[in-house]
Structure 1
């Protein structure tokens, strides 16, 4: 299964505890995370910790990490310019690009949402307004 994730240190924390020898074990535990509903915690934890699953991090999410780091809302152990690529490499996260076609399609579809991540409130979700997800080997949760 391939899963697209939002800018969430919880995902990296869970995956790194499984795959990295030098794991980041910060306070972002899933049972305390505001975006994880109580009934989704165990399912999300199992999916993320299963190293047979792939985790994708969008360029937009990496940008949000950098913005939140700069604003002091997300204090990672090092500047986001080095933290994000290093964490992606160490935890086996693959990049997911967001290009102009994605943003243009959101506007053309007449969606009232100003976000290109309309389902970001659900853990491990990504949404496309058409069948773009069928072009990638991505299972949607």
Structure 2
């Protein structure tokens, strides 16, 4: 279960894949105005395109209370946390490096609950499968 760190409902997914509008709206709601730039809609659009091409891969998060971020950066807002459990990995992209005792990775996955939820980024270091997860497309 994803635990929201801020108030507001998690929007269930009503289609087989996220639409560009849904991802862009999520980014607009969750990213502070000062950091919302032209690259956020472009990144959201690329992520939505990847989601439309492939509905995602089921992955296992091994860690507890992993922060989920609005972008693949440790300093990006983190409205929720998750783990351990199963998520759908929509796509993966390079981002800030994260190092834990179990390993390190500079790859981040755009993930959501199997039942549908807002898509957020999680460092691949917390997902079983290695630094870059086989079978998951690039964003």
Q: What TM-score, normalized by structure 1, do the two folds share?
A: 0.33
> Which structure's relative contact order is higher, taking Cα pairs within 8 Å and 6+ residues apart?
1
Q: Which structure would you say has the larger Rg? A: 1
- Answer 1 or 2: which has greater strand percent: 2
Q: What TM-score, normalized by structure 2, do the two folds share?
A: 0.33
